[in-house]
């Protein structure tokens, strides 16, 4: 089946990206904008970059491509400052230069025939899905976004693409519905053509156990630890129904039913 967007497309490049802004979105979460025309022009929703961080950080950090500007020159990253590398990155100032490699990995497979899709985001799993939402809306596809997070970690709705239907879930019910965001998927499955999911492992485990989702086109973006991001070190290997695969090279996007879930507890 033909696709509107999928990866990997153009081979990755190593680029010097000028920081345009880096601002907090919620406590400990940042939105970073950089000027990186070569990466932006080649990027597909679901792909990522490896960013070199200063300080004591030895390895590059994988960051999902959150948005690409309409001019095709700027890319944005949504990330949490949770360690030496990302702490250093969160202090970036306009005019700073970052060393990035990308775009990397295989992106989402959005079918030409799709007329309506469901995006399911858990916390920072929103990061790659906004880029997909923008690309889908540009192609006239109706977009539903089910977004679940802690009440004090919500992404500002004003930053979301226009024209999407948002269904919010919070852990305590102070905003939107109370409960787990995966609970809404069965209600949408009969009216949407494709489902795209990104979030922590428990979300995927929960979906994999729902019998009424068997055989449906559900694509997930795995969040795993990576060392090289280039398919060289095998640090992000996982077991699939087709054998061992690497999240950085063969993913990060996989079909939900492609993963051997009882082997995933340790990643």
Q: Indicate which CATH number applies to the domain containing 186.
A: 3.40.50.80
**Res 7: pLDDT:** 54
CA distance 214 to 207: 9
Instruction: Please choose, from the candidates 71, 131, 138, 145, the residue with its C-alpha nearest in 3D space to the C-alpha of residue 103.
Output: 131
CB 143 within 8 A of CB 121: no
Instruction: Please choose, from the candidates 208, 212, 229, the residue with its C-alpha nearest in 3D space to the C-alpha of residue 220.
Output: 208
| Nearest-10 Cα torsion for 202, 219, 79, 161 | -120
Burial class (CB in 10 A: 0-12, 13-18, 19+), 190: exposed
Q: Is residue 231 included in any domain, yes or no?
A: no
Which residues make beta-bridge pairs with 198? 121, 221
Q: Is residue 248 included in any domain, yes or no?
A: no
Position 8 pLDDT exceeds 70? no
Question: pLDDT digits over 149-159, tens only?
Answer: 887 778 888 88
**Res 93: pLDDT:** 97
What HEC string does 47-86 produce?
CEEEECCCCCCCCCEEEECCEECCCCCEEEEEEECCCHHH
**Res 150: pLDDT:** 81
Report in angstroms the alpha-carbon separations of 242 from 30, 235, 259, 260: 37, 18, 9, 9
Position 86 pLDDT exceeds 90? yes
Out of 57, 73, 104, pick the residue that ends a domain: 104
57 & 124 share domain? no
Of the chain, the percentage scoring pLDDT greater than 90 comes to 61
Question: Chain-wide mean pLDDT for the chain?
Answer: 89
**Res 57: pLDDT:** 73
Out of 104, 119, 142, pick the residue that ends a domain: 104
**What is the pTM (predicted TM-score) of this model?**
0.92
Q: Is residue 260 included in any domain, yes or no?
A: no
150 & 205 share domain? yes
Question: pLDDT digits over 22-45, tens only?
Answer: 999 988 999 999 999 999 999 999
CA distance 140 to 259: 31
CB 105 within 8 A of CB 246: no
CA distance 12 to 201: 27
Model confidence at 211, pLDDT cuts 50, 70, 90, reads confident
Per the structure, the complete domain to which residue 73 belongs is given by: 3-104
66 & 91 share domain? yes
């Amino acid at each position: 089946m033909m696709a509107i967007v999928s990866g990997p497309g153009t081979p990755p490049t190593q680029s010097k990206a000028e920081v345009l802004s880096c601002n907090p979105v919620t406590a400990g979460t940042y939105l970073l904008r950089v000027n990186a025309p070569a990466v932006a022009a080649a990027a597909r929703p679901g792909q990522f970059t490896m960013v070199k961080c200063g300080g004591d950080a030895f390895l590059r950090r994988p960051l999902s491509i959150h948005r690409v500007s309409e001019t095709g020159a700027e890319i944005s990253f949504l990330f949490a400052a949770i360690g030496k590398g990302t702490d250093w990155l969160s202090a970036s100032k306009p005019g700073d230069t970052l060393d990035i490699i990308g775009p990397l990995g295989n992106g989402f497979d959005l079918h030409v025939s799709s007329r309506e899709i469901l995006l399911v985001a858990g916390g920072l799993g929103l990061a790659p899905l906004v880029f997909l939402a923008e690309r889908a809306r540009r192609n006239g596809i109706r977009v539903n976004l089910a977004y679940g997070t802690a009440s004090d970690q919500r992404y500002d709705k004003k930053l979301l693409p226009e024209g999407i239907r948002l269904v919010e879930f919070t852990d305590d019910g102070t905003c939107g519905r109370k409960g787990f965001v995966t609970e809404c998927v069965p209600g949408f499955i009969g009216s949407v053509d494709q489902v795209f999911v990104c979030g922590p492992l428990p979300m995927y485990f929960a979906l994999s156990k729902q019998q009424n989702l068997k055989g449906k086109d559900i694509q997930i973006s795995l969040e795993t630890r990576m060392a090289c991001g280039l398919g060289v070190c095998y640090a992000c290997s996982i077991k699939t129904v087709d054998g061992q695969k690497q999240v950085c090279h063969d993913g990060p996007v996989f079909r939900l039913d492609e993963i051997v879930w009882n082997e995933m507890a340790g990643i």
